[in-house]
Amino acid sequence: MASWHAVAAPAPARAPARKRTRARDLDHRRPRPGSKRSVKAKVGVAGGLAWIIVAGVLLAGIVALNVAVLRLNIRLDHMNTKSQQLQAENAALGAQLSGAVSSPRIQALAKARGFVPADPTTIGYVDLAPRRP
């Protein structure tokens, strides 16, 4: 029958004793490379900084684009205002022209210069189209 008593296991191997550093050895010590954790932290910070810079550049570009569009809108508004003024001037000149060439005005000017209307009985018409037989 098996016994419940454990058999003594061999003692685990001991790690070699660490050498104690003396004060004079501290001055000539080689620098230990940084832990992987600090390297990863630096890469993460650098990556975050790069994204911040990229976002800042993109935002600056968007702002510049908006300013350019606003300037174009202001110029377009000025052009629309000038166009409306020119259309109003054209309408006023058209009305003035139609008043200048109106029949009663021309008749009044003709009478002032001594012209008289032609006698309707003396008016004859010439047919310029050839007749076909």
Listed by start position, the domains of the chain span: 43-114
Helix residue ranges per DSSP H, 101-121? 103-112
pLDDT of 40-85, one tens digit each?
A: 556 667 788 889 999 999 999 999 999 999 999 999 999 999 999 9
Does 38 score more than 60 pLDDT? no
Tell me what pLDDT residue 83 has: 97
Tell me what pLDDT residue 80 has: 97
pTM of this prediction exceeds 0.85: no
Contact 29, 21 (CB under 8 A): yes
Helix, strand and coil content of the chain, in percent to the nearest 5, comes to 60, 0, 40
Q: What is the DSSP string of 12-56?
A: PPPPPPPPPPPHHHHTTPPPPPPPHHHHHHHHHHHHHHHHHHHHH
